[in-house]
Copies of this chain bind each other. A is one copy, B any other.
Amino acid sequence: MTDSKRQIKLGAFLQSVGHHLAAWRHPDVDPKNATRLEHLKHLAQIAERGKFDAIFFADGLGWPQIDPQLLAKGAPTYFWEPLTVLSAIAQVTKNIGLISTISTSYLPPFHLARLFASLDHLSGGRAGWNLVTSGTDFEANNFNLETQTAHLERYQKAREYVDVVKGLWDSLDDDAYLFDQDSGNFFEPEKLHYLNHRGQYFSVAGPLQSARPVQGYPVIVQAGSSEDGKNLAAQTAEIVFTAQQTFEGAKAFYQDIKQRVAKAGRDPDAVKVMPGIMPVIAETRELAQQKFDYLQSLIDPEIGISLLSAFIGNIDLSQYSIDDPVPDFPTTEGWQSRQQLILEVAKRENLTIRQLYQKVAGARGHRILIGTAEDIADELQYLFEQGAADGFNILPPTFPQDLTIFVDQVVPILQQRGLYRTEYEGHTLREHLGLVRPRSRYHASA
């Protein structure tokens, strides 16, 4: 199964006790797992048993200052700082990639370069960085700012940021270390490079005081679907996560990204497009639908509306009745792309606020597939073979149950069809993804 045939890539998107908004209230779920490291270690091991390319953490820098009564009704998100947790998980796994979201907005690039270099070394080359910019005022308020930075500026800054980070990762050549006890040279002085970056947003001298990461650079991931986001992805990303509700949308997005990548002078195969999928699986379609309906029934309406409001740019919905059609809103400086995707769905399907929050709340904008393991495998195969995806970021509605079901029931079908690995091809995330190890910027002159 490790021939050169194109195969599906899989990410396990880990979050608390499940991706469904009401997961923590499900009687089969232990809500205390939201605060237990053992739970996350266990999930990573299940995903590794399923030969997933990587586990993935989203991240956010705080909670909105909304009514505490409302906050208290949601399972805590982003309880853990992701890089410390991935470092811990790296010790109980061997092969699976370790991807975390880290925002460029409030962490100096020197710190980020160092954190990911360290994670890449201590995991033997399994680190991936999902580059985001922070898009809310409540996050800005935790970092000395009144409001978030404008969307375009965030992306311009992010582009320079990535360049600085890669430059720091190149501080020492791959073969710089000598360990020569006799001569007293620990490394070869010619193989040390000072970055001396002076740009529009950053001045960073370097060097980073660590060996070049095992993977050269940790794998760069992005999830932006706005124009700015897609352009940044075309230039820098190696994995693109996306939320797509339909086959047509997914295919158009896939083609758009691949074209932009080619225009940016890169190999389209060097960027893996992985839409998010929430699989709701049971022995029959009816049972799967019942399972989903039961989860939906556990959503508190207050929470549903609040989540929807946050997703369309923290717009106050309290003036509307819950059964009004979704009104038109201006785009804000927040997450433009997500906003747009959600509002498009509302218009296309002519939804009320209640219908939209139910739709969004379930998988937070990602596509929900409800059916048997065979149904799910069929749909993934279709998306993959029809040019709409290189792989999928899987969002199980509850943890650990629905991840286990996916690994035990869907993975074997994909393997039988020759669409998915039966064993890891290597030890690094780059090797799993079939991505080239990038050379240092100093390689030609070295």
A365 to B144, CA, bound (A): 38
In the complex, A268 has a CB within 8 A of chain B:
no
Q: What are the 8 closest A-B residue pairs judged by CB atoms, nearest first?
A: A81-B118, A141-B205, A68-B189, A87-B87, A91-B91, A84-B87, A72-B189, A31-B179
Q: Which listed residue (B76, B78, B87, B108) contacts A85, Cβ 8 A?
A: B87
Q: Would B76 and A206 count as touching, CB distance under 8 A?
A: no
CB neighbours (8 Å) of A211 from chain B are 35, 76, 79
Binds B, one of A58-66, A275-283, A333-341, A402-410: A58-66
Q: Would you give the 0/1 interface string for A177-199, flagging 1 where the beta carbon is closer than 8 Å to chain B? A: 10101001111111010100000
CB neighbours (8 Å) of A81 from chain B are 114-115, 117-119
Within 8 A of B (CB), among A36-72: 37, 60-63, 65, 67-69, 71-72
Q: Would A107 and B115 count as touching, CB distance under 8 A?
A: no
Can you list 13 A-B contacts with CB-CB less than 8 angstroms, sorted by A residue number?
A24-B179, A27-B181, A31-B181, A31-B186, A61-B110, A77-B209, A83-B115, A84-B119, A111-B111, A138-B205, A141-B203, A143-B204, A144-B203
In the complex, A310 has a CB within 8 A of chain B:
no
In the complex, A210 has a CB within 8 A of chain B:
yes
Nearest chain B CB to A135 CB, angstrom units: 16
Q: Which listed residue (B34, B106, B119, B184) contacts A108, Cβ 8 A?
A: B106
Copies of this protein in the complex? 2
Q: Would A186 and B74 count as touching, CB distance under 8 A?
A: yes
A interface residue numbers (CB < 8 A to B): 24-27, 31-32, 34-35, 37, 60-63, 65, 67-69, 71-81, 83-85, 87-88, 90-92, 106-108, 110-111, 114-115, 117-119, 121-122, 138, 141-145, 177, 179, 181, 184-190, 192, 194, 202-211, 300, 303
Q: Which partner residue on chain B sits nearest A182 by CB separation?
A: B25
A71 to B143, CA, bound (A): 35
Q: Would B205 and A62 count as touching, CB distance under 8 A?
A: yes
Q: Would A210 and B31 count as touching, CB distance under 8 A?
A: no
Nearest chain B CB to A152 CB, angstrom units: 21
CB neighbours (8 Å) of A31 from chain B are 179, 181, 186
CB neighbours (8 Å) of A143 from chain B are 108, 110, 204
Nearest chain B CB to A437 CB, angstrom units: 18
CB neighbours (8 Å) of A24 from chain B are 179, 181, 186
